[in-house]
Chains A and B, each alone.
Chain A
Amino acid sequence: MNQKTFFAFIGPSVLMMVLFIALPLATVLKQSFYINQPIYETLEVETCTPTFTGQVCSVDLKTVPVIGENGKVLKKNEFVGLLNYQNVIEYPRVIAAFADKSWRQFMTIDFWKALRFTLSFTLITLPLVLLFGLLIALCINNAAKSIRGPVIFVSLLPMIITPVIGALSIRWLFIGDGILTSFLEWWFAKDIAMFAQAWTIEFMMMMYRVWHVAPFAAIVFYAGLQTVNQDTVESAIIDGANRWEKLRYVLLPHLMPLIVFVTLIHLMDSYRVFEEVVGFSSQAYVISLQWLTYDFLMVDQSGNRSISRASASAMLTMIGIVLLLIPVLKGVWRDYKDKRL
């Protein structure tokens, strides 16, 4: 392929990526160094409002935003350097917590509380997803040809469900006297409240995520199993390899690139854990980094959004993902170089 054709082919997608990925990212990066706020003035305002006993009018001094000539609220954009990052990370409180040697105190700071959960969520679900994905894939692969179609279909079902809807379903199964909680109460003959402490909520979130993502890993691994060199498998069996040795020395090395692929995808996805927090409305107990960004973005009772802090928090989330991916990518790069040599 000559260079011209090559660029003609990838040109459109590069353009799209610049337009829809790079530019938004750049604006978020820029916004994270700025503060955008309405200009306020203090005015005497007379308001008449109804009460239970009739109308009440009052004249009060109010802080109200200035409305410009185009009918929009006047805003100013001010460069503040790393202030937004500082406001998200709250390092003076971190230092205070360390000075007191208090993990508890450290965990009351939103960002770090969210980071702690996000990291443990990511790192605990990863091996479980790989393990269950592999088990399901092996099950499908060993199933009789006649039932293989239905088995694939059933094992893919969890993946089809929209994450928020899935999380809501779990919530309704367990909240209050939900059927599964009632069942557990009957089973253990004691009162159980799944949404009344952090660890049960975190446990449900992780179980839900594994249930939801394992089919994806399974289908990828299953596809990989179709391309295993049958001669190698047969010679391994002739050499007296048992099931475990076959898996360990033939199948797993063959699947390794796919395992790395699933790992990469899962690290990126689960670091952005969000649906579970919203679906379970767990914010009093468990929050994640992505939820923190969302919370900054939500309008408050006065109509303000913390867009600057949301931008900073989004950038920090991205940095976190990159840091997590580096070890995995390093491994991939090493293999690639080894192969080229």
Chain B
Amino acid sequence: MSQTPYDSVPAKGFWKQAVAEKSLFDIDLDWEPRFRIGQQTRIATFGSCFAQHFGKALKRRGMAWLDCEPVNPGLSDALCHRFGYRSFSARTGNIYTASLLRQWTRWAVGRDAPPDEVWEQDGRFFDPFRPRIEPGGFETAQEVQDMRAVTLTAFQQAIRQAQVFVFTLGLTESWFHSDGHEYPMCPGTAAGRFDPERHQFRNQRFEETRTALVQAIHLMRRENPQIRFLLTVSPVPLTATNSGQHVVVATMDSKSILRAVAGDVAESLKGVDYFPSYEIINSPAFRAVFFDPNMRSVNPRGVDFVMETFFRALEQKHGLPPALGAPPTADDIACEEALLASFGEGA
């Protein structure tokens, strides 16, 4: 029998050895990071809702997750997340599509000015580009604009300061105004009013998605030539589709395009990598055990498994130190000394 290239393929390349003969919890996708991400690497995270898990895990691990729109440290996470703080590296809300990422980037770097559109409902005011960011709405239309300007500055800082920009692609289905700007959600769902004359549905295909992503990356590199990108695809299925297809078919269509774009961009652009969180949750190898019973929400075990895979690869390939909990700050150290000093005397 002659030699073939498959003779030198390692075990991870064969389904039988890499999947079928393993417990699913022992399956390691053996991600090979293309660039070093260390404890001090400044990382920005944006994208669809699954990206929030990434940021939280980086924080818990004591890594240098960028919070470019910080609020008082004493505030509870619950409050901050309700108002869109501490969820992404700026208070953009979910950026579901590559074209929305490009839109935020163009606004942040001054290529375009955001439209002055504000949605009013029962005397409260909503930002069409992040309609759920302020529960109950803003008090005035001016406040909507002012707060968006704060976020655009923070988003620009994130671009400029980040050494690694993590972006999670979430959707291809999108809603545009006839003037050209894109909404993260269909007007009339979270807020606003749907107008069939002005609001247009577009299910973006491969080329459109790829072009938007590449343009966003190029724009950010003009601000920060050293920035690197780590792309992921959200494994969370669509809540609803306007495509006319069954939601399962629409989900597969959308995710397949996003996965293909992420892989293609990572292959074709330098300084861009892809991390397979989508595969960890969605591959049949993992038998859907990481989904809640509704088969849509990813359960905490799944999130942990994804992040363990991520950190393990960084530990093995780039020497990231194992997790030890948050390092003590200077104040913490001083506190411990004060405690010992006090109880060591006359106790």
Q: Do A and B come from one complex?
A: no
Binding site for B on A (CB under 8 A): none
Binding site for A on B (CB under 8 A): none
